[in-house]
């Protein structure tokens, strides 16, 4: 079979591969680094090694191709020596370092480790800055505030809506549906057109939220978007939103990328590292209660300390 990589092998254009086999939010905080790479290597074809479903989001970044990569359990599907520049945007653990090493690239851009020159890995800094700092150390200009995305080519199905994103990847970030419903009730009464978003697996949470908020008939049909949208349509919904309310998820990062006012509920992850950049965004959490177990099935105490009234007060402060 003639694959894209086979064609790369037979062309003169050099190849840069950036490894980040993670989730949507992880891609979005790496956008400034990807933009820096695109400017610094205009003659290179750039491959982003990430999960298959991330391809639609890469179109919003622009200038980046996609290498489907489900994770780090196996070597990347790239012939040894084909890659000119390999960039480790995944992390600094043994698995990601090994996957980069196996490529046999002429140049490696990574944090310091045995046999690799680079900046030391430090904690407590925003993720956008982590990856632009990495590039800067290697002599590549990158601006941590260059995080905006291109607009999707598809229109928003609900322009001007207030997006309540009810889902999250892990139980530690799942704010109770009763509280999302309480917010939906109050904002609907205040004149907001509320829509409930989430992935296919989060459709049930959205339905429970709608039921508790007593959304019925046409209101229910218009509100329930969870599980019905592709990534591009979801991004369009965020891009034209009046307001976005979400846990620390891709929805929150999309709100930042499109400059939409947002209220972001933080639990296990530190907001100082994963929180939104300066802008019309309010972070709600209780740092002193944070347990920090991202993979827990139970909501983090820092998240559970946030009440409906806290969200409504934040919406008022945003002037939405």
Find where tokens 């993720």 sit.
127
Boundaries of every domain in the chain: 4-137, 162-318
Q: Which two tokens stand for residue 112?
A: 């310091």
Q: How far apart are CA 18 and CA 34, in angstroms?
A: 8
Exposure of 263 in the CB half-sphere (CA atoms within 13 A): 29
Percentage, residues of the chain above pLDDT 70: 96
- 12-23 confidence digits (pLDDT tens): 799 999 999 999
- 184-212 confidence digits (pLDDT tens): 999 999 999 999 999 999 999 999 999 99
Does CATH place domain 4-137 in 3.40.50.2000? yes
- 274-319 confidence digits (pLDDT tens): 999 999 999 999 999 999 999 999 999 999 999 999 999 999 999 9
Does CATH place domain 162-318 in 3.40.50.2000? yes
User: What is the mean pLDDT of the segment spanning 267-274?
Assistant: 96
Is 29 a residue whose pLDDT tops 60?
yes
* Short-list 11, 1, 57, 8, CA closest to 233: 57
User: What is the reported pLDDT for 215?
Assistant: 87
Q: How far apart are CA 196 and CA 181, in angstroms?
A: 10
Q: Do domains 4-137 and 162-318 have the same CATH topology?
A: yes
User: What is the reported pLDDT for 5?
Assistant: 55
């Amino acid at each position: 079979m003639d694959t894209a990589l086979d064609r790369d092998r037979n062309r003169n254009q050099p190849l840069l591969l950036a490894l980040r086999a993670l989730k949507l939010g992880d891609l979005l905080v790496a956008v400034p680094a990807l933009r820096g790479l695109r400017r610094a290597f205009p003659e290179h074809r750039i491959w982003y090694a990430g999960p298959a479903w991330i391809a639609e989001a890469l179109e919003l970044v622009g200038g980046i191709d996609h290498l489907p990569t489900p994770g780090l359990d196996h070597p990347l599907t790239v012939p040894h020596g084909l890659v000119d520049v390999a960039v480790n945007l995944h992390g600094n653990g043994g698995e990601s370092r090994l996957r980069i090493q196996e490529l046999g690239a002429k140049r490696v851009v990574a944090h310091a480790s045995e046999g690799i020159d680079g900046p030391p890995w430090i904690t407590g800094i925003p993720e956008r800055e982590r990856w632009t700092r990495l590039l800067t150390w290697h002599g590549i200009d990158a601006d941590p505030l260059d995080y905006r995305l291109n607009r999707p080519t598809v229109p928003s199905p609900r322009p001007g809506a207030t997006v309540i994103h009810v889902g999250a990847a892990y139980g530690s970030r799942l704010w109770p549906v009763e509280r999302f419903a309480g917010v939906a009730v109050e904002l609907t009464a205040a004149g907001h057109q509320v829509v409930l978003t989430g992935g296919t697996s989060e459709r049930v949470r959205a339905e429970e939220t709608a039921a508790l908020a007593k959304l019925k008939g046409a209101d229910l049909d218009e509100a329930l978007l969870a599980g019905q949208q592709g990534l591009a349509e979801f991004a369009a919904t965020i891009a034209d939103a009046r307001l976005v309310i979400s846990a620390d998820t891709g929805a929150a990062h999309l709100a930042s990328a499109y400059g939409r006012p947002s209220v972001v509920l933080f639990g296990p992850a530190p907001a100082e590292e994963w929180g939104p950049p300066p802008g019309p965004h309010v972070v709600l959490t209780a740092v002193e209660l944070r347990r920090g177990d991202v993979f827990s099935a139970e909501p983090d105490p820092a998240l559970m300390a946030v009440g409906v009234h806290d969200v409504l007060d934040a919406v008022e402060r945003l002037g939405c």
